[in-house]
Structure 1
Amino acid sequence: MSTSTPPRLPHAGHVKQLAEQLWNAVSSADEYAATELVLRILDEGLDPESVLLDVIAVVQGRVGEEWAANRISVAQEHAATAINDRAVAAVSMHPTARTTATRGRVTVACVDGEWHALPARLLSEVLKLRGWQVDYLGAQIPTPHLIAHLHNTRTDAVALSSSIATRLPTAHAAITACQAVGVPVIVGGAAFGPEGRYATLLGADAWAPDARTAADHLAKGPPPLPQFGHQQFDDLPHLGDQEYTMVARNSASLVRAVFTALEDTFPAMRSYSDLQRERTAEDLAHIVEFLSTALYLDDEELFSWFITWTAQILVARGVPTHSLPPALDLLARDLKDFPRATRILEVGTHTLTSAPSTAAGNTA
């Protein structure tokens, strides 16, 4: 296949039908049916890149949507993701997907702490199809190991993937470290926000919303070599108030304090089962983690989005959401000396209580 231009996309209706067939196999946990389908449509001439991005990636997106709507369990979501990963492997081994590297070398990795590796895996396979030599390092690669790899290879660019916004402070460190050794960084994934707003804030050399766009961007040539130190942590002057550092370092004690106080302000908690109490503690931990990330980015919209999403997840599971505003109020009380944190929590509470579909107390 040609590596100079991206392949043409097949007919949209045909692709949709194939994605539905793959979904039926994946949702039934039928690994053999899934891989047989992928191999058959490759034998029939469907372009490997289209199989990866217009079939497998679409099905994986549906897996996430079904989990969020509580129509599949966590175990089913994990099983489906594993089957999709095997489907990607089947594509990579098919004769029509074998290409010779004619371009440069790209390292593809997930940010440390990021377990959602399939988007990075898909990008790796697409780049191979486009003629790149690819070093795929997989999920949650620690930044020191990533940099050691760059020292030992002649990498033209690093592609970093992250789906969870709470990994962005770590992503910032990885971006800066790669640039410090002279390697440009292109980033992608839901963590980097709408239109890649956080990619720009954290100094990435380029951003792409999906694997095809990333491959198109790199086809024009890797981003220019960064100048050492062109993006430093002090480019985020709001971090000088130490609010992010204090909240991040004291997250465990904040969760414990709010959990204890919530039992008094929200009496229903006293009748919770051990499992319900455990889930409540997990939700509080996520709230504090997203608050600290919002402080790092100085972006209250991130926290508002998260708290609304949390309410939607709870509603889908039939869990009352009216404990969320008291939890935010208690957290704001404990952080009363932190003006940015207080403002973010107040905005989050207002968003939560004013949204008609996720209003506190709505359990339908």
Structure 2
Amino acid sequence: MGISVSRESLVSAVYDDLKGKGLVSPEDRDLCIQDINYHLDYLEEAIRNSSPELFEDYVLWADVLLRNLGLPEECLRGSLKSMEKVMLEVLDDETASLASSYISGSLRKLEMEHKPPSYMRDQPLRDLAEKYLELVLNTEAKKARDLIISSLKSGVNVEDIYLHVFEPVQHEIGRLWQTNQISVAHEHYATSVTQMIMSELYPYIYQASERKNLRLVAACVNNELHEIGIRMVSDFFEINGWDSVYLGASTPPEDFRKIVDELKPDLVAVSATMTFNVGHVRSLIKLLGELDDSPPVMVGGYPFNVDTELWRKVRADLHAASASSAVRVAEEFLKTE
């Protein structure tokens, strides 16, 4: 956005407007300012990508989170209205009008039903997924691990464990945290248990398919810590005969560039879960494009599923909506090259 004032001044003006309306108290100042900054981070990234959907989705998510923390509905709505008011006062007309349209659109969305549904639905391996969720929530890591290993030994394949157990359980853990049913500590523990178990599954992964003489380099962009999704993508490629080089979370862009230049993969897979990291995806794609022999880049992660055209906006070569579709999308793309 073309902001003619500093972020600090803008946030301060929004806070003062909220205080003047009696919507915040002095003891809540730090938390309120933190929330205003979050709102602005998402708004700026949405506008930068010409994507009202990204901001609307964030606002609906934030509303569920804040209401389940016991805050009144007007908390978020008041903040958005104050942001809009201040921006119309201090930004240039074009930018203010654009920001106002994004905020107004999100306020309209808030009037619609947006209760997040459970991810534990009728699906293959539902009983297994529910038992696994119960165990990780009860901090029973060994039992959770034994449950997965015994399922594999009984004939369940790795891909189904990933798709129908780990993936819905991770989503459900996120929903339970969003709705204030579990703590951040529980969420982190559950994620660490799943990562630990995934690390034990490579004997099953490596034996799954004949090799294809194709190489993938996969990682999260810098500042992105949500890595299970891209790790699943990397493992799916390995299962399907690729040589997958998984770099992990928050990979520095220059280091990413160097290893891609060194390994010369057939494909790079990049993930961002948080909308405010989409800019890092765009920057990394530009950086990789400067290589003499730049590989195609596939992007994925939550924002790219919210706005299905976002991958084009960041100038990626292809997009996969899920780990299960990533290999097919990639191999179909490479056939046309």
1:196 aligns to 2:314 (yes or no): no
What CA distance in whole angstroms lies between the structure 2 residues aligned with 1:223 and 1:153? 21
- Name the amino acid aligned to 1:197: E
Structure 1 residue ranges (4+ consecutive) displaced by more than 6 angstroms after TM superposition: none
Confirm or deny: 8 A CA contact 1:128 1:134 kept in the other structure: yes
Give the secondary structure class of the aligned counterpart of 1:60: helix
What CA distance in whole angstroms lies between the structure 2 residues aligned with 1:189 and 1:113? 14
Name which of structure 1's ranges 169-178 and 89-98 shifts more when overlaid on structure 2.
Answer: 89-98
What CA distance in whole angstroms lies between the structure 2 residues aligned with 1:48 and 1:68? 29
Superposed CA offset, 1:133-152 (max 9, x none): 00000001011111100111
- Name the amino acid aligned to 1:163: T
Taking a change above 3 Å as real, the CA distance of residues 224 and 148 of structure 1, as seen in their structure-2 partners, is: farther
What CA distance in whole angstroms lies between the structure 1 residues aligned with 2:147 and 2:128? 8
Instruction: Note the 1:305-316 alignment, pairs <5 A.
Output: none
1:102 aligns to 2:102 (yes or no): no
What CA distance in whole angstroms lies between the structure 1 residues aligned with 2:268 and 2:212? 18
Q: 1:208: which partner in 2? A: 320
What CA distance in whole angstroms lies between the structure 2 residues aligned with 1:133 and 1:84? 23
Give the secondary structure class of the aligned counterpart of 2:309: helix
1:128 aligns to 2:242 (yes or no): no
Give the secondary structure class of the aligned counterpart of 2:201: helix
Q: Structure 2 stretches of 5 or more lacking a match? A: 1-121
- Name the amino acid aligned to 1:112: N
Query: What TM-score, normalized by structure 2, do the two folds share?
Result: 0.60
1:44 aligns to 2:180 (yes or no): no
Question: Which of 194, 217, 230 is matched with 2:329 structurally?
Answer: 217
Question: Which of 283, 288, 298 is matched with 1:186 structurally?
Answer: 298
1:221 shift after superposition:
4.7
Larger relative CO (CA 8 A, sep 6+): 1 or 2?
A: 2
What CA distance in whole angstroms lies between the structure 2 residues aligned with 1:223 and 1:163? 28
Instruction: Note the 1:191-270 alignment, pairs <5 A.
Output: 191-222=303-334
Q: Structure 1 stretches of 5 or more lacking a match? A: 1-11, 226-364
Confirm or deny: 8 A CA contact 2:158 2:205 kept in the other structure: no
Q: 1:358: which partner in 2? A: none
What CA distance in whole angstroms lies between the structure 2 residues aligned with 1:219 and 1:39? 30
Question: Which of 130, 134, 138 is matched with 2:248 structurally?
Answer: 138
- Name the amino acid aligned to 2:181: R
- Name the amino acid aligned to 1:70: N
1:54 shift after superposition:
1.3
What CA distance in whole angstroms lies between the structure 2 residues aligned with 1:69 and 1:97? 40
- The count of aligned residue pairs is 214
Taking a change above 3 Å as real, the CA distance of residues 102 and 173 of structure 1, as seen in their structure-2 partners, is: same
Give the secondary structure class of the aligned counterpart of 2:218: strand
Q: Percent identity, please.
A: 26
Confirm or deny: 8 A CA contact 2:205 2:235 kept in the other structure: no
Instruction: Note the 1:19-58 alignment, pairs <5 A.
Output: 19-58=129-168
- Name the amino acid aligned to 1:75: A
